[in-house]
Structure 1
Amino acid sequence: MSNAYDVIIIGSGPGGYVTAIRSAQLGLKTAIVEREHLGGICLNWGCIPTKALLRSADVMDQANHAKSYGLTLEGKMTADVKDVVARSRGVSQRLNGGVGFLMKKNKIDVIWGEAKLTKPGEIKVGKSTKPVVEPQNPIPKNTLGEGTYTAKHIIVATGARPRALPGIEPDGKLIWTYFEAMKPDVMPKSIVVMGSGAIGIEFASFYRSMGVDVTVVEVMSQVMPVEDKEISALARKQLEKRGMKILLESKVAKVEKGSNSITAHVETKDGKVEKITADRLISAVGVQGNIENLGLETLGVKTDRGCIVIDGYGKTNVPGLYAIGDVAGPPMLAHKAEHEGVVCIEKIAGLPNVHAMDKSKIPGCTYCNPQVASVGLTEDKAKEAGRDIRVGRYSFGANGKAIALGEDQGLVKVIFDKKSGELLGAHMVGTEVTELIQGFVVAMNLETTEEELMHTIFPHPTLSEMMKEAVLDAYGRVLNA
């Protein structure tokens, strides 16, 4: 078998393996290099298994409120942490095997090991320094090993890893990253979550549903700092109503370790220090690109703040070398990586009308309880950009389906350009908004105006009706409020 390819992709996360499939579809001889597990962090330790955990949390929440639905459960609902974790790992293992199947189906060679760029168009693959860990299925039969490989085009898709703060480095026992938080041996009685981005808040929500005493520490002035302020404030209110303690404009300055607990020294904006003792601390202060030991320096690849610099099509400053996904910078989201990879490979293949990545239309979702979802500009960002805007809002409390579900706490908010009717942004908090947001994403990609949305018929009774009502509200025409 020849070691020469049209395309080699380093990393098999959602960006890498999807790009490999599209590459093979376009008739390019393709290989993918993986050092640890097919599917990358997202499938094995991120997006997918966390949603499985959060599903268990949702069932627990519903069971604890069964009486409000006219139902009576015999005895007390309890969680078996081992079974909850086992279900989550099983979901990942199933999908992990699916990626292996897709590689075989599309005749994509899998090269097992760690890749290093040696010169333009060439990589050397050595033995992986990271052990293959569960839920990795048996290594696919279409797998190659150590050696030198060449390709006309090499795409770096090595992803990212948890960022560590100096002095508060995760130790795997008392200070956790999402790796440890995803598979606890026993359920802690209390935790401190450092950071309230999507990762931090999702774990905070999961553990709170499991009955854990949760304190969230956030250095910014709102939870989920990238979200619209109004949406963030409503989410915070609901999280606190569930019993979560949230400290804003605060930071964990120091952590003292006990034999089986930590004491976090939390410094507030006024300089005061509050000591919080808990069983565990989850460090969720962001992620950083995996750019080390790839040989980027040898080739003179330009990087910035720990990520590879690219143009809108994934090109680096080195001919024939590309980067996609987390390693290519924010937003560090799986769906961004997938789309970025498809754009990159279609441009490489010379397809006509390939559009550069438009980051303003990438949706963001946080799967806590309540869920938060958004796309486009926040109200503040729209104003900062000098846009003359119309803002529409619609409450879950006025929607029949939400009331019937017993999920009447939430809000849909839309932002339009007053002159053109362009939809600039949409922001939601409440049940299942991570499923609703795609409607606004499609609308923005089609350059839909307020008039077209107003003339769209939404089915009744559904949560989606709130999307139209919010649009109507922006123009003083709301019907059911």
Structure 2
Amino acid sequence: MADQYDVIVLGSGPGGYVAAIRCAQLGLKTAIVERELLGGICLNWGCIPTKALLRSAEIKHYMDHASAYGLMVAGTIEADLEAVVKRSRGVARQLNQGVTHLMKKNRITVHMGEGTLTGPTSLTVKSDKGEETLTAKHVIVATGARARDLPFAPADGKRVWTYRTAMTPPEMPTKLLVIGSGAIGIEFASFYNDMGADVTVVEMLDRVVPVEDADVSAFLEKSLVKQGMTIMTGAGVEDLKVSDKGVKARIKAKDGKVSETEFSHCIVAIGIVPNTENLGLDTLVEMDRGFIQIDPYGRTMTKGLWAIGDCTPGPWLAHKASHEGVTAAEAIAQELGNKDVHPHPLDRGNIPGCTYCHPQIASVGLTEAKAKEAGYAVKVGNFPFIGNGKAIALGEAEGFVKTVFDAQTGELLGAHMIGAEVTELIQGYVVGKTLETTQAELMQTVFPHPTLSEMMHESVLSAYGRALHF
């Protein structure tokens, strides 16, 4: 006899477990199927443990520059990589246990094993204990994604790494090649550079962090070079020869010249591949390059079958997955007769992006170039960290806050930041965009002093020629 539920969630990442919790809150009998660890990649091998690593690197960075704060550190500062990684894994383990507790608290049944759909609302789960059959009124696919390999040099966990090995490295790189300058590539480049490695970043496109505003990309590249990294944009790795001692990379530079350089290790960060193979999805959903196509509520083309998170179109971010999980859960509850829920479709234009390198990057909405391409006449504000008293007091005077407005209506179209703690600041603009705020409302908002957030106010004022402190 098959176990029957209102909702089964396949995958327990930040989309899946949040969807399950919201379903349970709405009174739905809910199960979750997970083949590895509750919390998925983000909690166990992605967002959270990488931030723990980066925090250790940040502390080392400040210790290396203690004299700038009038402090003296006796002796040399050395990184204990094993201890840094151990701390990171401890953070991940603690949060994994937290998700386990949340499943019990919300009375969500957890089935550990490999799930395969046998229909839109039924699946089998295989584990070392055997096979069981589950059925539900609705199924949410939240199987996530994995790192994309180089076709000519797949990751081996020894010399060629993906993010997973880079988080638990077998040894400290001495000379590191990072292929790809998106968030993952740049974060690991920043971490290992602060930890003492000689880092080279190769990016195929014409600038680093290419999804960000061009001004942010230019500022970051200058900062990374100043920190000692080698940055190669408009370049490509044509071949990697891997040996027991390292990797030899054949790199074609922007000018067309090809050179061979030896590195101790290589991190490949060239994108992701959705985990949608061998799930029984082939005739049930529409796919584009393996990503499940959905409507703004998470519905697939088959009634009763939903999808959220990294196995669906981007942006591929944990907070986007969690938001989709809540939206899908509420839409399912509504379909099952709950008249008190009112799900809202996902607006991808209001999803913030954060990169935790040094300096940090955060953004939401349209870049200046994208706004102009969309036909807007724009007003652009820009305020530098050097004009902010708190930034100077913190010794973090590098960076800026940029805002983009519709010149006709005053609507906030986008905000782009680089500098200390901007990943915390960006939410102010996200709330503003969600509330469809205009420059007039932001100008009338009182920002506390002394804070970094004052730069957000000044950037708005700057767009209209009214900046006060620069």
What TM-score do you get using the length of structure 2 for normalisation? 0.97
- Which residue is equivalent to 1:278? 263
- Which residue is equivalent to 1:209? 194
Residue 433 (str. 1) matches residue 422 (str. 2): yes
Partner of residue 434 from structure 2, selected from 445, 456, 468: 445
CA contact (8 A) 2:158 2:170 kept: no
- Which residue is equivalent to 2:337? none
Q: Quick one: distance in 1 between partners of 2:245 and 2:293? A: 43
SS across alignment from 2:15? helix
Aligned AA for 1:280? H
CA contact (8 A) 1:82 1:185 kept: no
- Which residue is equivalent to 1:219? 204
Residue 303 (str. 1) matches residue 292 (str. 2): no
- Which residue is equivalent to 1:399? 388
Q: Quick one: distance in 2 between partners of 1:145 and 1:22? A: 29
- Which residue is equivalent to 1:419? 408
- Which residue is equivalent to 2:104? 104
Q: Quick one: distance in 2 between partners of 1:347 and 1:232? A: 39
CA contact (8 A) 2:2 2:133 kept: no
Matches within 5 A, 1:19-418: 19-127=19-127, 146-297=131-282, 299-350=283-334, 351-418=340-407
Task: Measure how far apart 1:28 and its partner are.
Answer: 0.1
Q: Which runs of 5+ in 2 are unaligned?
A: 335-339
SS across alignment from 2:403? strand
Aligned AA for 1:212? A
- Which residue is equivalent to 1:141? none
CA contact (8 A) 2:205 2:233 kept: yes
CA contact (8 A) 2:250 2:259 kept: yes
Q: Quick one: distance in 2 between partners of 1:317 and 1:237? A: 47
Q: Quick one: distance in 1 between partners of 2:420 and 2:22? A: 34
Q: Quick one: distance in 2 between partners of 1:352 and 1:117? A: 28
CA contact (8 A) 2:225 2:231 kept: yes
Task: Measure how far apart 1:2 and its partner are.
Answer: 6.7
Task: Measure how far apart 1:300 and its partner are.
Answer: 3.2
SS across alignment from 2:238? strand
Q: Quick one: distance in 2 between partners of 1:97 and 1:190? A: 36
Task: Measure how far apart 1:272 and its partner are.
Answer: 1.4
CA contact (8 A) 2:234 2:253 kept: yes
SS across alignment from 1:91? helix
Q: Quick one: distance in 2 between partners of 1:2 and 1:192? A: 50
CA contact (8 A) 2:292 2:313 kept: yes
Structure 1 stretches of 4+ moved >4 Å: none
CA contact (8 A) 1:81 1:185 kept: no
The change in CA–CA distance for 1:300 and 1:62 in structure 2 (over 3 A counts) is: same
- Which residue is equivalent to 1:140? none
Q: Quick one: distance in 2 between partners of 1:364 and 1:145? A: 41
Q: Quick one: distance in 1 between partners of 2:431 and 2:103? A: 30
SS across alignment from 1:155? strand
Task: Measure how far apart 1:186 and its partner are.
Answer: 2.1
Q: Quick one: distance in 1 between partners of 2:168 and 2:459? A: 40
The change in CA–CA distance for 1:27 and 1:145 in structure 2 (over 3 A counts) is: farther
SS across alignment from 1:369? coil
SS across alignment from 2:448? coil
Partner of residue 455 from structure 2, selected from 461, 466, 473: 466
SS across alignment from 2:321? helix
What TM-score do you get using the length of structure 1 for normalisation? 0.95
Q: Quick one: distance in 1 between partners of 2:170 and 2:293? A: 40
Task: Measure how far apart 1:145 and its partner are.
Answer: 7.0
Task: Identify the range of structure 1 (165-174 vs 384-393) with the bigger mean alpha-carbon deviation.
Answer: 165-174
Number of residue-to-residue matches in the alignment: 465
SS across alignment from 1:381? helix
Task: Measure how far apart 1:7 and its partner are.
Answer: 0.0
Task: Measure how far apart 1:352 and its partner are.
Answer: 4.4
Task: Measure how far apart 1:317 and its partner are.
Answer: 0.6
Q: Deviations over 1:102-136 (max 9, x none)?
A: 000000000110111112311011127xxxxxxxx
CA contact (8 A) 2:309 2:318 kept: yes
CA contact (8 A) 1:177 1:283 kept: yes
SS across alignment from 2:24? helix
Q: Quick one: distance in 2 between partners of 1:186 and 1:347? A: 47
Task: Measure how far apart 1:269 and its partner are.
Answer: 3.5
Q: Deviations over 1:230-249 (max 9, x none)?
A: 01100111111000100000
Task: Identify the range of structure 1 (159-168 vs 361-370) with the bigger mean alpha-carbon deviation.
Answer: 159-168
Q: Quick one: distance in 2 between partners of 1:121 and 1:371? A: 43
- Which residue is equivalent to 2:9? 9
Q: Deviations over 1:144-199 (max 9, x none)?
A: 97300000000000000001121121111110001111111321111000000000
Q: Quick one: distance in 1 between partners of 2:261 and 2:418? A: 29
Q: Quick one: distance in 1 between partners of 2:173 and 2:318? A: 29
Q: Quick one: distance in 2 between partners of 1:402 and 1:75? A: 29
CA contact (8 A) 2:144 2:274 kept: yes
Q: Which runs of 5+ in 1 are unaligned?
A: 129-143
Q: Quick one: distance in 2 between partners of 1:224 and 1:68? A: 29
Q: Quick one: distance in 2 between partners of 1:387 and 1:102? A: 45
CA contact (8 A) 1:152 1:320 kept: yes
CA contact (8 A) 1:15 1:324 kept: yes
Q: Quick one: distance in 1 between partners of 2:156 and 2:244? A: 13
Task: Measure how far apart 1:258 and its partner are.
Answer: 2.3
